[in-house]
Amino acid sequence: MSDKPSVLFVCVHNAGRSQLAAGWLRQLAGDTVEVRSAGSAPAETVNPAAVEAMREVGIDITNQTPKLLDYATAESSDVIVTMGCGDACPVFPGKRYEDWKLEDPAGKGVDAVRPIRDEIRTRVEKLLAELRPTD
């Protein structure tokens, strides 16, 4: 892993869970981690309830666009965190993988997205602590 590790968050539509996780990691890590997200079957837009849930905690993800997961992005990432993309997620030897089992916020309102957002924050904080070198 380089001095600036790269983390790729992957879910099916790249509109909910992976966008929430990427938003948290960008906020918490600043420029110390390269943050990426993608989906195996990306939606046209980020889930509005996810956007609102993040806005409530001061994080703006309105400028994010769902992206198609591609081989090069996955291959060049140090850590790949999957969230329900199943067999569509490529596997590369030597990469660190985590599979986060989280409820899918698709079709849910902001009240249902808040607990998902908060669970993702906890997991991102743990991941970030593991990525940061100890002094």
Domains, the chain, in order of start with CATH, read 6-131 (3.40.50.2300)
3-state secondary structure at position 80: strand
Query: Is 11 one of the annotated active-site residues of the chain?
Result: yes
Q: Which of 35, 54, 74, 85 is catalytic?
A: 85
Q: Which of 7, 11, 54, 113 is catalytic?
A: 11
Residues 70 and 135: their CA atoms lie apart, in Å, by 35
Longest dimension (CA), the chain: 44
Query: Is 89 one of the annotated active-site residues of the chain?
Result: yes
Tokens 């918490």 -> residue: 28
Q: What's the pLDDT score for residue 3? A: 77
Q: Which of 8, 81, 83, 89 is catalytic?
A: 89
What does each of the 135 residues of the chain score in pLDDT, given as a tens digit? 557 999 999 998 999 999 999 999 999 999 999 999 999 899 999 999 999 999 999 999 999 999 999 889 988 999 999 997 665 566 777 788 899 999 999 999 999 999 999 999 999 999 999 997 654
Q: What's the pLDDT score for residue 95? A: 82
Q: What's the pLDDT score for residue 135? A: 47
Non-local CB neighbours of 94 within 8 Å, separated by 6+ positions: none
